[in-house]
Structure 1
């Protein structure tokens, strides 16, 4: 198994979004891990395998845009997702991409 990964792309600039703080929280909003996107807009968080349940990734997008003097409607983006474990105990790789602009964002279940 591999840890949860994310990839943030700045759709407005057409570049990876480096330097965005990302926080992973588990059930009952308990913090699990935190990191910052690298030069390629990627971050890896959490343990090798998360137990089944609901989790949240919080991306601190306001600071990212403020550093660039760009106004934004979303000071942070929160993505909540469900982790499932197969009957054999296996788990698909968890990848949560974020496509970001100052006034919109989208996300999906990556691979």
Structure 2
């Protein structure tokens, strides 16, 4: 069974990015899961089930920055991931600032 989690960190403040809406879609764009980051900037279990192949995580960063009175050059961040192991555990962290972002495969 596939398990997918995420974590968003505000790289400017060094604090968790709370209340960031995240949507997981399959290769055809169908929504598989939706959640919002918690007080620690995490979604510990965005998706648990059967999944393999190309998927996309969409982070609605405009909501996060607007709540802080900030303009954001990137109003959303879309991360495409290839889930190669249908029994794998995947963690996708996002480091975020108003004018930059980075991501990596976490553990």
TM over 0.5: yes
Q: Which has the higher strand share?
A: 2
Q: What number of residue pairs does the alignment pair up?
A: 106
Q: What corresponds to 1:14 in structure 2?
A: 14
TM-score (structure 1 length as normaliser): 0.89
Separation of aligned partners in 1, 2:49 and 2:31? 16
Q: Which ranges of structure 2 fall in alignment gaps of 5 or more residues?
A: none
Larger radius of gyration: 1
RMSD: 1.3
Separation of aligned partners in 1, 2:41 and 2:54? 24
Separation of aligned partners in 2, 1:18 and 1:2? 25
Q: What corresponds to 1:84 in structure 2?
A: 84
TM-score (structure 2 length as normaliser): 0.92
Q: What corresponds to 2:23 in structure 1?
A: 23
**What aligned pairs does 1:3-82 form with structure 2 within 5 A after superposition?**
3-43=3-43, 44-50=45-51, 52-82=52-82
